[in-house]
Amino acid sequence: MTSTRWLAAAFTVASTFASSAMTTGARAEDLTLCWASWDPANALVELSKDFEAKTGNTMHFEFVPWPNFADRMLNELNSGGQLCDLMIGDSQWIGGAAENGHYIKLNDFFDANGIKMDDFIDATVVGYSEWPKNSPNYWALPAFGDVVGWTYRKDWFEKPEIQAAFKEKYGRDLAVPKTFAELKDIAEFFQGREVDGKKVYGASIYTERGSEGITMGAMDVLYSFGFKYENPDKPYDMEGFVNSPGAVAGLEYYKSLYDCCVAPGTSNTYMSEGIDAFKSGQVALQMNFAFTWPGFESDADVGHGKTGYFPNPAGPNGEQFAQLGGQGISVVSYSKKKDAALEYIKWFAQPDVQARWWKMGGFSCLKAVTLSPDFPESQPYAQTFLDSMAIVKDFWAEPSYAILLQASQKRFHDYVVAGQGTAQEALDGLVKDWTENFEDEGKI
């Protein structure tokens, strides 16, 4: 995803598009679904063949590589384009999409078809569907649950000689870290160590500057150190919350992890670079979104029991949170095929379809799937997914989120990677940047 400023849209959109059950008598349509180009999208193509068979509609897909996804699709929405009938858009887009009339409001459709938001993981409803947040106004159906978690080389952790060396140095067994302090110990232990005749490094973390990478990585740590976006009792009041002592300590920790424990040449890394580092055997630990986990399980080098998974560890005071990822699926307001697009959403929301979605590598948000008794054993990473989704927080979903993101990208990268200034100065500057933005919008 790249930072793209939402433009004002002079469109008004009716909020009521009720549709009853799928009807075979309806005229068949050619629908286009827009999403990012990645493995889950390929799985959705296969899954959607069932929708085509049941409805007679034909599905087409417009998939854009992640580095260009936001620019391409936000430009499409901002221009009122009719390429996309359905959009699986990022969680941060929901505020702008609602306020600028890009998505249709789905409340009446959900009510008419018995689709209940209580049936989906609570955090995904807030993150992917609601605007304003924590209000019963829905603009998307949770489509793909995602969260930043960790993978580790389980096979390395189990080597007797590595276990003995770690215990000798730290006085405890080498195990999945429960705190960020323990995680750093493990990363430092592996940094420069020889494993299976190859020099390895401690961790792969997000440092990318151009889109959202370092913000997703740094926030993944800062939440557990006490960072808050604003005063819970006074919206957009950020002084002492964004730059609290805990937040400063969290940013200092993130820089220390970068300074001590990453591979050379990793000053601009995000999802794909993390995948490559882990699959190639460069690192013992890897920060990345959960969508990467199915690929590791099937990989010839790190799959089949060699990889383990764990949720984001706790901070120094025991707080434990993780950065939310993932997307909801929406009907684009400029589509001329809204009824057929709503049919797709109704089909996609069915429990049997959601169960198949999970089995095919899609991360279902439906509680009937994720809370079923056999879910934790359905995949090696299933329990970690559940544990992680229970502790998520998300970045601003304001219409001006891209401007807010540009500010954090610069402040975090300048401090963590470029070594400019202090953590306190970086966060003080971020308060200044964000405050000016909300003042310009008249929200302060």
Q: What is the pLDDT of residues 229-270, one digit of tens each?
A: 999 999 999 999 999 999 999 999 999 999 999 999 999 999
Residues 241 and 272 in one domain: yes
DSSP bridge partners of 128? none
Q: At 426, is the pLDDT very low, low, confident or very high (cuts 50, 70, 90)?
A: very high
Phi then psi dihedrals of residue 150, to 5 deg? -135, 145
Cα–Cα distance for residue pair 147/393, rounded to 1 Å: 9
Q: At 25, is the pLDDT very low, low, confident or very high (cuts 50, 70, 90)?
A: very low
Give the least confident one: 19-28, 77-86, 261-270: 19-28
Looking at the domain assignment, is residue 7 inside a domain?
Answer: no
Residues 262 and 290 in one domain: yes
Torsion of CA 162, 167, 170, 174, to 10 degrees: 60
Q: At 27, is the pLDDT very low, low, confident or very high (cuts 50, 70, 90)?
A: confident
Between the alpha carbon of residue 336 and those of residues 30, 84, 86, 328, the distances in Å are 11, 10, 11, 20
The rounded mean pLDDT for the chain is: 94
Q: Which among 9, 326, 399 is positioned nearest to 144, based on CA atoms?
A: 326
Looking at the domain assignment, is residue 352 inside a domain?
Answer: yes
Looking at the domain assignment, is residue 267 inside a domain?
Answer: yes
- The residue written with tokens 């009938």 in the block is 85
Cα–Cα distance for residue pair 203/187, rounded to 1 Å: 6
Give me the pLDDT at residue 12, please. 29
Residues 125 and 105 in one domain: yes
Cα–Cα distance for residue pair 66/144, rounded to 1 Å: 15
pLDDT digits (tens, 9 = 90+) for 282-292: 999 999 999 99
Residues 313 and 285 in one domain: yes
Q: Is the pLDDT of residue 392 over 80?
A: yes
Structural domain containing residue 436: 148-323+397-441
> What's the token pair of residue 158?
């189990």
Looking at the domain assignment, is residue 199 inside a domain?
Answer: yes
Give me the pLDDT at residue 1, please. 40
Task: Report the domain count for the chain.
Answer: 2
Q: How far apart are the first and last CA of the chain?
A: 28
Cα–Cα distance for residue pair 223/323, rounded to 1 Å: 8
What is the pTM for the complete model shown?
Answer: 0.92
